[in-house]
């Protein structure tokens, strides 16, 4: 099981969190991009190998949203919310 470092509660079990998905580019203005670009933004989620910046919500704890780096090949937390 993955241990996620919450800055308020300390290392907590993954079961206390809800995965918020990868950090993505800012949402484009739908009127300023082509239909194809808009559909791609809405439906295509990148799935790279290696470190990925992700959002996690401590839903069964303090309720904080965290942003951390997780390696998708090893499932290890590479950089937590308190790491510089």
- Is the domain covering 3-79 a CATH 3.30.2270.10 domain? yes
* Residue 84 pLDDT greater than 60, yes or no: no
CA-based end-to-end distance of the chain? 25
Q: What is the mean pLDDT of residues 19-32?
A: 90
* Residue 61 pLDDT greater than 60, yes or no: yes
Average model confidence (pLDDT) for the chain? Answer: 91
Predicted confidence at residue 68, as pLDDT, reads 95
Predicted confidence at residue 44, as pLDDT, reads 87
Predicted confidence at residue 79, as pLDDT, reads 86
Predicted confidence at residue 37, as pLDDT, reads 93
Q: Whole-angstrom Cα distance, residue 77 to residue 7?
A: 14
């Amino acid at each position: 099981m993955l241990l996620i470092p919450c800055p308020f509660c300390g290392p907590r079990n993954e079961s206390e969190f809800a995965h918020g998905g990868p950090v993505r580019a800012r949402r484009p203005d739908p009127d300023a991009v082509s239909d194809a670009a808009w559909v791609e933004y809405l439906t295509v989620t990148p799935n790279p190998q290696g470190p990925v910046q992700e959002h996690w919500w401590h839903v069964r704890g303090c309720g904080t949203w965290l942003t951390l780096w997780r390696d998708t090949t090893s499932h290890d937390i590479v950089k937590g919310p308190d790491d510089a």
